[in-house]
Amino acid sequence: MKSIFYVFIALFIFTILSSCAMEDSQVKGEIIEQGSVTGIDRYRYTIKVTAPDDTCNYKEVDVTVKTLISDTSSIDPGITLINKHAFGELDRSSSKTETFEIVLNGRNVAGAGASISNINGKYSLPENCIIIDYAELIGLGSSD
């Protein structure tokens, strides 16, 4: 009877952890504003990242942004700038917004401007969750 209880607890915790990895439980990101800065040779964009409303917290969240710049107004020949921006930790259902600037050095931003190419991070359960020793969970202790 005790081993059935351990199996039930193991399945419950596995369900919680696997729900964090589902596609609809991933951190979402968007560029909410972008454009050239008037009077100076810079391009500014604002990124908003949002954690889903699930049981997970997210840490080491970073966003990779690609921006194509060119000496002319066309995209060819162009240089792709790749910038990685650290957002740190996000609690469930929270969001962070940050603004970044790139120096253009006399070039123009080509195409649609900055775009998010990747969002990385790790998920963890909230601190108030009870973590049970794995060996005890799978019933490696004494059997009654």
Closest CA to 63 of 91, 90, 25: 90
Q: Does position 129 have pLDDT exceeding 80, yes or no?
A: no
Indicate whether 15 belongs to any domain: no
- Concatenated DSSP letters of 7-74: HHHHHHHHHHHHHHTSGGGSPEEEEEEEEEPTTSSEEEEEEEEE--SSS-EEEEEEEEEEEEEESSSS
Indicate whether 133 belongs to any domain: no
Indicate whether 140 belongs to any domain: no
Q: What's the pLDDT tens digit per position in 22-80?
A: 545 578 888 988 998 877 889 999 999 998 877 678 888 899 999 988 887 665 677 88
Query: Is 49 within 8 Å of 120 (Cβ atoms)?
Result: no
pLDDT at 130: 45
pLDDT band at residue 1 under the 50/70/90 scheme:
low
Q: What is the spatial distance between Cα 113 and Cα 91, in angstroms, rounded to a whole number?
A: 30
Indicate whether 70 belongs to any domain: yes
Q: Domain containing 116: what range?
A: 27-128
Q: Amino acid identity, residue 55?
A: T
Q: What is the pTM of this model?
A: 0.68
**Token pair listed for 7:** 């199996």
114-to-15, 47, 101 alpha-carbon distances in Å: 37, 10, 11
What CATH number should be reported for the domain holding residue 34?
A: 2.60.40
The CB-side HSE value for 23 (13 A sphere, CA atoms) comes to 0
Closest CA to 126 of 97, 94, 81, 102: 94
Q: What is the spatial distance between Cα 31 and Cα 97, in angstroms, rounded to a whole number?
A: 9
Q: Which residues pair with 102 in a beta bridge?
A: 43
**Token pair listed for 35:** 């454009």
Domain count, the chain: 1
